[in-house]
Amino acid sequence: MGALTFDRKREAWATSTGLVKETVRTPRLDEPDGADRSHVLIQVMYAGFCGSDRGIWWRKAFGDMILGSLDEEGKDKRIVGHELLGRIVQVGSRVTEKYGYQPGDVVSTESHIICGTCYQCRVGDSHVCAKDKIIGISMDGCFAQYVKLPAKALWPTDLSKIRAEVAAVQEPFGNAVHACQAAELRGRRVAIIGCGTIGLFAILIARGMGATQIIGVETDPHHAELARKLGADVVLAPALPPADAPHKSDPDLVRQVLALTDGVGVDVAMEMAGFNAALNNAIKMTRRGGHVVMFGVKNGDAVVEDVHRVVMNGLQLHGIVGRQIFKTWELTRNLLENRSNGIQDAIYDVILNGGQDTLVDFGTWQRDDFERRIKAHPKVVLRFAGQEG
């Protein structure tokens, strides 16, 4: 079958970029293997290209996880991709009885494959499983014509209620839903700092969940325009921090947010930009007793300005990873299937640009063309079998 891979036999991690389109062995269910009795084989219909896939494309993130897991498996190539919409073509012998899935069912998947036995899994916090594997990073993923997955991770999807191209991005949308579950948003004033793909989703979700005021913060004019189209009341451009103090907040930005909120500050600020300065901006523009949702922060040390403010202002900081399994998925489904909130249509019309230039047929996939598209759009979706399959 065809797949997009990182293949260390062809190119070293440190000196390459992009993915390789190549023919690999089609996965199959191997019944004598006990685990495969609870697995399914899925024909991929569509697959979303994620921010973390961008990290892999430019070799900025996940190198250790990919190379380490390849060492463990004694392999050289990793099939990338974890945002899936597909059709089940074969089920292991225990799947239907245990999970209810049958061949022909259309599914998405949770991308974190949890162990089910660690402390977090046992106390109901499986989204922070201590031994999870991530599809397309620490195990083979869905940028391929077929993928084999454990049935326990799958999420049934009704294509009469969700457009297929949108259903392919339920997983990253769910990430933004999870961030919006961290604090009550109804009737609240919310700042979303960083209007990349997840920030744009968060604007739609905050609006759908009843936030009264949404302040976007974004430097890129194209993304700022998308944020306005999706329902941000105002989008402010932060100043870049001084080169010798990249952690510094922008006092002018904070003043503008205070002016927009009767001098109080926002109830909830979401840091989705991935810069130290963005975290400090979030802390400084949040009202006393408010919530700061941390989503974008990267590896390494960060500086928190006036750290006593976090304590003295009674702020609550939340780190958000993945999706609560499957609580977040239930809310995700409700937000997408309810057409009256306009979310599903906005994802297709605005974030996916009405399908123009954002849908890429795997059959005609070419590296340079694809790189241009992932630079031009917040979200690009690969079409494998499509809906007809």
Question: Which residue, 367, 388, 380, is CA-closest to 83?
Answer: 380
Minimum distance between the CB of residue 62 and Zn ion, rounded to whole angstroms? 11
Q: In this chain, which stretch among 87-95, 123-131, 270-278, 364-372 interacts with Zn ion, using CB under 5 A?
A: 123-131
Kindly state whether residue 129 participates in binding Zn ion, applying the rule CB under 5 A: yes
Residue 65 binds Zn ion (CB under 5 A): no
Nearest approach in angstroms of CB 194 to Zn ion is 16
Closest approach of Zn ion to the CB of residue 135, in Å: 9
Binding to Zn ion by residue 121, rule CB under 5 A? yes
235: number of Cβ within 10 Å: 20
Of residues 291 through 310, those in contact with Zn ion by CB under 5 A are none
Per CB under 5 A, the list member of 20, 29, 115, 297 interacting with Zn ion is 115
Residue 49 C-beta: closest distance to Zn ion, Å: 9
Window 165-224: residues binding Zn ion (CB under 5 A): 172
Assign 3-class secondary structure to the chain.
Answer: CEEEEEECCCCCHHHCCCCEEEECCCCCCCCCCHHHHHEEEEEEEEEEECHHHHHHHCCCCCHHHHHHHHHHHCCCEEECCCEEEEEEEEECCCHHHHHCCCCCCEEEECCEECCCCCHHHHCCCHHHCCCCEEECCCECCCCECEEEEEHHHEEECCCCCCCHHHHCCHHHHHHHHHHHCCCCCCCCEEEEECCCHHHHHHHHHHHHCCCCEEEEECCCHHHHHHHHHCCCCEEECCCCCCCCCCCCCCHHHHHHHHHHCCCCCEEEEEECCCCHHHHHHHHHHEEEEEEEEECCCCCCCCCCCCCHHHHHCCCEEEECCCCCCCHHHHHHHHHHHCHHHCHHHHHHHHHCHHHCCCEEEHHHCCHHHHHHHHHHCCCEEEECCCCCC
Which of residues 50, 179, 268, 282 is near Zn ion by CB under 5 A? Answer: 50
Q: How far is the CB of 373 from Zn ion (least distance, A)?
A: 17
Comparing CB distances to Zn ion, the nearer of 127 and 284 is: 127
Long-range CB pairs of 50-55, under 8 A, 24+ apart, other chains included? 50/82, 50/83, 50/171, 50/172, 51/172, 51/196, 51/197, 51/198, 52/82, 52/137, 53/80, 53/81, 53/136, 54/374
> How many residues of this chain interact with Zn ion, rule: CB under 5 A?
7
Helix (H) or strand (E) holding 288: strand 286-294
Q: Which is nearer to Zn ion, 121 or 205 (CB)?
A: 121
Please say which residue, 115 or 304, places its beta carbon nearer to Zn ion. 115
136 near Zn ion, rule: CB under 5 A: no
Nearer to Zn ion, 42 or 176 (CB): 176
Q: Residue 130 Cβ, how far from Zn ion at the closest point, in Å?
A: 5
Please report how close the Cβ of residue 257 comes to Zn ion at its closest, in angstroms: 29
Minimum CB distance to Zn ion smaller for 118 or for 304: 118
Q: Which is nearer to Zn ion, 61 or 282 (CB)?
A: 61
- Considering the complex, state which of residue 177 and residue 191 has its C-beta at the smaller distance from Zn ion: 177
Stretch that binds Zn ion, among 111-119, 217-225, 285-293, 354-362 (CB under 5 A): 111-119
Return the number of the residue (108 or 145) whose C-beta is nearest Zn ion.
108
In the set 118, 304, 317, 385, which binds Zn ion (CB under 5 A)?
118
- Closest approach, Cβ 227 to Zn ion, in A, equals 20
Residue closer to Zn ion (CB basis): 171 or 267: 171
* Smallest separation, CB 10 to Zn ion (Å): 24
* Stretch touching Zn ion by CB under 5 A, among 23-31, 44-52, 86-94, 331-339: 44-52
Residues that bind Zn ion (CB under 5 A): 50, 114-115, 118, 121, 129, 172
